[in-house]
Amino acid sequence: MEQPTFDPGLTQQFAGPLSRVINKDGSFNVLRRGGSWRDVHPYLFLINMPWLAFFAVIFCAFLVVNTIFALSYFSLSPGQLQGADATAEMSRFWKTFFFSAHTLTTVGYGNVAPSGLTANILSALEAMFGLIGFALATGLLFGRVSKPSARLGFSDRIVMAPYQGGTSMQFRVVNLRHNALMELDANVMLMTVEGKMGSMNRKYQVLKLERKQVFFLPLTWTIVHPIDSESPLYGKTPQELELLQAEILILIKGFDDTFSQTVHAQYSYRYDEMVWGARFEPAFGVDSSGRLVLDVDQVGHHARLQAAGQ
């Protein structure tokens, strides 16, 4: 019996060959265009950007603010700032720049001090701006560090392995972090491109799993889809899956005990990432003291069966 198809939110329309639906980093392969600056939420933008880019933004903001206030101090008459006179070692601008940095960070070494009314007003405004700015930067840093996220490792390949006298599709997941993940639930779909030339559509079918849920994930979890007569993969060959541009879409959610929140992870495998006639090798064992030892680097290791390729 053919399983019903549906659209999980990735569209059934086919406009041409697609590299993949879900990228290797778990993000969706969607390039957004249009919109305006009003649609950009600064907090979400700064929370979700890469760490290197985040620190670059903070550093650039620090330089820009210091430069603006330094130029403001530099435009004042020399008598407004005590100790800001130029010396052989340092120009007046650099003295005002570092005075701005000291004021912004509330360090205040005292080598330069405001004496005029205008300089005192500027330094007071900068100190207030520094307190607010660093409070925002600290909040953003805390938000990035405390943001719950799943760090699941997936096997590099899907294997088509023997299963209870038949065949199954299998892949492995492992928790790459040391926190406890509980009550994990997996949803797996097969995406194919079907139809005649000029009227092709993407088709999504949910794959039935041997075990859809596990309570804990201290070791590895081999997710198995039995390929029986009701499976959309039944009777399919590697060449047929290539023609269908087949892609296995995976969504896993679980409860993070550290943050007491639900976390999600997405992943996908394409037809060229399937190994036929193989079996996963054990990724954990028992040491001399009786403890289980997990090697996360072994999660994707597999061995081809002797009958493979014959």
DSSP state of 2: P
The yes-or-no verdict on residue 106 having pLDDT over 90 is: no
The yes-or-no verdict on residue 180 having pLDDT over 90 is: no
- Mean local confidence (pLDDT), 124-144: 93
Equal CATH topology for 49-146 and 153-304: no
Tokens 């249009």 correspond to 34
CA distances from 253 to 45, 213, 217, 279, 296 (A): 24, 10, 12, 25, 20
Tell me the per-residue pLDDT of 226-246, one tens digit each, with 9 for 90 and over.
999 999 999 999 999 998 999
Within 10 Å of residue 51's Cβ, how many Cβ atoms?
Answer: 8
Separation of first and last alpha carbons in the chain: 31
Per the model's pLDDT, the better-predicted residue between 197 and 160 turns out to be 160
Tell me the per-residue pLDDT of 260-295, one tens digit each, with 9 for 90 and over.
889 999 999 999 999 999 999 988 888 888 888 989
State the pLDDT confidence band at 174, using cuts at 50, 70 and 90: very high
Beta strand residue intervals within the chain, DSSP E: 81-82, 113-114, 152-154, 158-163, 166-175, 181-194, 201-206, 213-216, 220-227, 247-256, 261-270, 274-276, 278-280, 284-286, 292-294, 302-304
**Distance separating alpha carbons of residues 13 and 33, to the nearest angstrom:** 19
Q: Which residues does 120 contact at the CB level (< 8 Å), separation at least 6?
A: 114
Percent of the chain past pLDDT 90, that is, above it, reads 49
The yes-or-no verdict on residue 170 having pLDDT over 90 is: yes
Smallest CA-to-CA distance from 282 within 219, 204, 203, 214 is with 219
* Radius of gyration in angstroms for the set of CA atoms belonging to the chain, rounded to a whole number: 29
The CATH number assigned to the domain with range 153-304 reads 2.60.40.1400
Q: What is the pLDDT of residue 130?
A: 93
Tell me the per-residue pLDDT of 108-124, one tens digit each, with 9 for 90 and over.
887 888 888 999 999 99
- With 0-12 / 13-18 / 19 or more C-beta atoms within 10 angstroms meaning exposed / middle / buried, residue 114 is buried
State the pLDDT confidence band at 1, using cuts at 50, 70 and 90: very low
Q: What is the pLDDT of residue 279?
A: 92
Tell me the per-residue pLDDT of 34-86, one tens digit each, with 9 for 90 and over.
777 777 788 888 998 899 999 999 999 999 999 999 999 999 887 888 887 76
Q: Which residues of 77-93 are buried (b: 16+ CB within 10 A; e: fewer)?
A: eeebbeebeeeeeeeee
**Could you write out the DSSP letters of every residue in 27-89?**
-B--------GGG--HHHHHHHS-HHHHHHHHHHHHHHHHHHHHHHHHTS-GGGEET-S--SS
Task: Identify whether the C-beta of residue 161 lies closer than 8 Å to the C-beta of residue 167.
Answer: yes
Q: What is the pLDDT of residue 14?
A: 65
- Structural domain spans, the chain: 49-146, 153-304
Per the model's pLDDT, the better-predicted residue between 273 and 2 turns out to be 273
Q: Which CATH architecture has domain 49-146?
A: Orthogonal Bundle (1.10)
- Mean local confidence (pLDDT), 306-310: 50
Q: What is the pLDDT of residue 25?
A: 81
Q: What is the pLDDT of residue 220?
A: 92
The yes-or-no verdict on residue 198 having pLDDT over 70 is: no
Strand pairing partners for 170?
A: 159, 224
- Mean local confidence (pLDDT), 175-198: 87
The yes-or-no verdict on residue 3 having pLDDT over 60 is: no
Q: What is the pLDDT of residue 150?
A: 79
Residues making up the chain, counted from first to last: 310
Tokens 């620090």 correspond to 62
Q: What is the pLDDT of residue 280?
A: 92
